[in-house]
Amino acid sequence: MRTSKLWSFLALSAAVLTTPVVVHAQATSPSANTPAPPQTMRLEEGEAPAVTINPPSTEKSITEKRELGKVKEVKVQTGRTTYYAKPIDPAGAMRGDGQSDNTQPVQFKVGEFGPPKDKPAAEEPQTLYPKK
């Protein structure tokens, strides 16, 4: 038991004593082996790019559908986003009742299905026929 503790202590001591030597060997003076950094030059400004980026439309369109004076649906269009808000009106619920909560998550319009749009016919690829 004593010899294993002695060897552990000697190994640890050797590691602690050699660490500063290894670190010092890695830190060399910068002028010894490395060249000086290149001189930088100021470049002339080029002309601005001819690209125009149009921001998305910020127009907001709100459409309400009413039936007998009550709002049945609200359609909100902002830019490319369209969503619908519909109030909850359960039958027999009294104000303040647990069922009378009038909030409902909005429904986003993700995609629209319909007849395919007219696409121009694709040109036939040129083919080479063997000579007869």
d(CA 11, CA 19): 12
In this prediction, the residues of the chain whose per-residue pLDDT falls under 70 are 1-2, 22-32, 89-103, 112, 114, 116-117, 121, 132
Predicted TM-score (pTM) above 0.85: no
Two structure tokens written together for 10: 């000697």
